[in-house]
Amino acid sequence: MNFLNALEKLPVYIEQEQNKIAEIQKDLPILQEVVNGTWSKEMRLSELKTELAAVERKIQLSIKPETEREPTQQLEKQKETPNNSENIVGTKDIHLTRGIL
């Protein structure tokens, strides 16, 4: 009995699906034009990407000299700070309490 009821409903479902297909086919040419057409802001986007690349290069070039200066600054700091091993050697003969070393 259920099988017969299902067979009776099939033509209604087929008709509904055919109507959906017909509506989608009406929209198909419009959607194809949208997909295949040129985008109005595509040129502006490519210009902005080129400008972004130029700005990033300028930033990298401005950062690079600073990183080259840093090693010389580190060498100067090392010269200013006394060497701990020299301090220990200088105090070798003097008896110090544990808290000082």
Ranking 25-39, 47-61, 70-84 by mean pLDDT, the lowest is 70-84
Instruction: Judge whether residue 46 has pLDDT over 60.
Output: yes
Give me the pLDDT at residue 96, please: 54
Measured distance CA(68)–CA(38) in Å, rounded: 47
Q: Where is 80: in which H helix or E strand?
A: helix 42-80
pLDDT higher than 80, residue 92: no
Quick one: tokens of 35? Answer: 């997909």
- Cα angle for residues 9, 22, 26 (degrees, 5° grid): 160
Read off the pLDDT of each residue in 44-68 and give the average, rounded to a whole number. Answer: 88
Residue 83 has pLDDT above 90, yes or no: no
Tens digits of per-residue pLDDT, 5-35?
A: 888 899 999 999 999 999 999 999 999 988 8
